[in-house]
């Protein structure tokens, strides 16, 4: 006869064997449990939803646009950073977008934002008069220097127009004083989450020592600033209209972003130019209600001629435009 202990061991083995047989017969795994019911069917991968499919397609297009921007920038023969954001969808692409490069007069865009924020806070008024003495004039092109040969009282609105539309240096330095200096502008950018835009000096101070006090920024943060502006997240509508109107009337850099998009396409931009720098940042309005592009191109130390750099900037603008507004097929 089996001892009591042997009998218990035999019983346990028999029960375990029966359980294993049941699992094998029903194709269950331990994770599926041992409850009754029909055997579980093998899970098939779920088909993407229309929203997921669109996101996947846009992701592929973003990668393609980034590759195209990189290919064009590769011909600059120097530092080239480009970033584009489709304002309404957030779709973005870039090449060296996080690289900080000299801004030159592009710094006047964040400066204008700071001025208009002070207008909204009641610290300044657009029609407020500001005295400008001849000795305060900063170097610049003759057409701008002629504005300041005699003492004059100019409104804040006029100073903004001169700074953005004509890229005047004297009005920019005067506004920099009004908002509390370079650090105040940088702090406004930080408050918007833009950590790569650094304003360190006005024009006159910078020209005394170009290497010591460069104003710098990244293409990605500049494109983000433009997108935030266009979405109405920075300024009230009436003040945004003031700024965008001035950008639309800009007379500098007509061979840059504007030259890359079809004639008649609305573009508002702010350029920056230095001995080895060709910059342009702006908003492009797409046709047929397709939205807006926020685009920033920064070139530094390029071996191309100035004309060649402007053509390359225009080519980058066209690549961004075509990625969102495909050209009609040949013969159509």
Q: Which residue has the tokens 């980034």?
A: 66
Q: Which residue has the tokens 């480009």?
A: 82
Q: Which residue has the tokens 């800009």?
A: 250
What tokens does 250 get?
């800009």
On whether residue 315 sits in a domain, the answer given is yes
Q: What is the pTM of this model?
A: 0.81
Give the residue ranges of DSSP H helices in 195-274: 203-208, 219-230, 237-248, 257-260
Among the ranges given (32-36, 102-106, 281-285), the one the predictor scored with the smallest mean pLDDT: 32-36
Q: What is the pLDDT of residues 52-61, one digit of tens each?
A: 454 444 454 5
On whether residue 35 sits in a domain, the answer given is no
Structural domain total, the chain: 1
What is the band of 284 on the pLDDT scale with cuts at 50, 70, 90?
A: very high
On whether residue 159 sits in a domain, the answer given is yes
Rounded to the nearest angstrom, the gap between the alpha carbon of residue 64 and the centroid of all alpha carbons in its chain is 17
On whether residue 290 sits in a domain, the answer given is yes
Closest CA to 102 of 206, 207, 214, 226: 214
Residue 209 CB neighbours (<10 A): 10
Q: Which residue has the tokens 């402007």?
A: 310
Q: What is each CA distance from 249 to 59, 160, 165, in whole angstroms?
A: 34, 12, 6
On whether residue 127 sits in a domain, the answer given is yes
On whether residue 251 sits in a domain, the answer given is yes
pLDDT of residue 32: 37
* Three-state secondary-structure class, residue 130: strand
pLDDT of residue 3: 44
Cα atoms in the 13 Å half-sphere on the side-chain side of 39:
10
**Which residues fall within 8 angstroms of residue 17, CB to CB, at 6 or more apart?**
none
Q: Which residue has the tokens 């011909």?
A: 75
For residue 134, is pLDDT > 80? yes
Q: Would you say how long the chain is, in residues?
A: 332
- Cα angle vertex 107, ends 94, 265, to 5°? 60
Average pLDDT across the chain, whole number: 86
What is the band of 20 on the pLDDT scale with cuts at 50, 70, 90?
A: very low
Question: Contact, 174 vs 155, CB < 8 A?
Answer: no
**Which residues fall within 8 angstroms of residue 170, CB to CB, at 6 or more apart?**
132, 136, 137, 138, 140, 144, 145, 147, 148, 162, 203
Among the ranges given (30-44, 52-66, 186-200, 306-320), the one the predictor scored with the smallest mean pLDDT: 30-44
Better pLDDT: 313 or 4: 313
Q: What is the DSSP letter of 141?
A: -
Cα–Cα distance, 90 to 323 (Å, whole number): 14
Question: Contact, 157 vs 242, CB < 8 A?
Answer: yes
For residue 2, is pLDDT > 90? no
- Crossing angle between the packed helical segments 108-120 and 219-230, to the nearest 10 degrees: 30
Domain interval for residue 178: 53-324
pLDDT of residue 9: 37
pLDDT of residue 245: 98
CATH number for the domain spanning 89: value is 3.40.710.10
pLDDT of residue 208: 83
Q: What is each CA distance from 112 to 37, 106, 253, in whole angstroms?
A: 70, 10, 19
What tokens does 245 get?
């109107």
What is the band of 326 on the pLDDT scale with cuts at 50, 70, 90?
A: confident
On whether residue 24 sits in a domain, the answer given is no
How large is the average pLDDT for residues 122-127? 98
Residue 49 CB neighbours (<10 A): 9
On whether residue 20 sits in a domain, the answer given is no
* Three-state secondary-structure class, residue 243: helix
């Amino acid at each position: 006869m089996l001892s009591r202990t042997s009998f218990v061991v035999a019983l346990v083995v028999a029960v375990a064997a029966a359980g294993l047989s049941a699992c094998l017969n029903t194709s269950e795994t331990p994770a599926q449990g041992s409850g009754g019911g029909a055997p579980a069917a093998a899970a098939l991968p779920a088909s993407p939803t229309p929203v997921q499919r669109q996101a996947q397609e846009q992701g592929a297009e973003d990668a393609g646009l980034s590759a195209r921007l990189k290919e064009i920038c590769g011909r600059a023969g120097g530092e080239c950073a480009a970033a584009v954001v489709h304002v309404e969808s957030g779709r973005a692409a870039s090449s060296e977008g996080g690289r900080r490069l000299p801004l030159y007069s592009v710094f006047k865009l964040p400066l204008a934002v700071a001025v208009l924020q002070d207008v909204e806070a009641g610290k300044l008024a657009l029609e407020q008069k500001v005295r400008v003495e001849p000795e305060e004039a900063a170097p610049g092109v003759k057409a701008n220097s002629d504005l300041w040969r005699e003492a004059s009282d100019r409104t804040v609105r006029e100073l903004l127009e001169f700074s953005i539309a004509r890229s005047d240096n004297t009005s920019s330095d005067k506004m920099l004083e009004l908002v509390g200096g370079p650090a105040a502008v940088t702090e406004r950018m930080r408050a918007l989450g833009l950590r790569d835009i650094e304003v360190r000096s006005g024009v006159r101070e910078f020209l005394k020592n170009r290497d010591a006090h460069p104003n710098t920024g990244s293409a990605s943060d500049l494109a983000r600033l433009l997108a935030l502006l266009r979405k109405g997240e920075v300024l009230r509508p009436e003040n945004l209209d003031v700024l965008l109107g001035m950008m639309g009337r800009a007379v500098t850099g007509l061979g840059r972003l504007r030259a890359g998009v079809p004639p008649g396409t609305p573009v508002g931009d702010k350029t920056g130019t230095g001995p080895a720098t060709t910059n342009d940042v702006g908003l492009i309005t797409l046709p047929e209600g397709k939205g807006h592009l926020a685009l920033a191109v920064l070139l530094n130390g390029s071996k191309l001629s100035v004309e060649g750099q402007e053509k390359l900037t225009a080519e980058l603008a066209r690549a961004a435009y075509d990625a969102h507004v495909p050209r009609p097929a040949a013969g159509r």
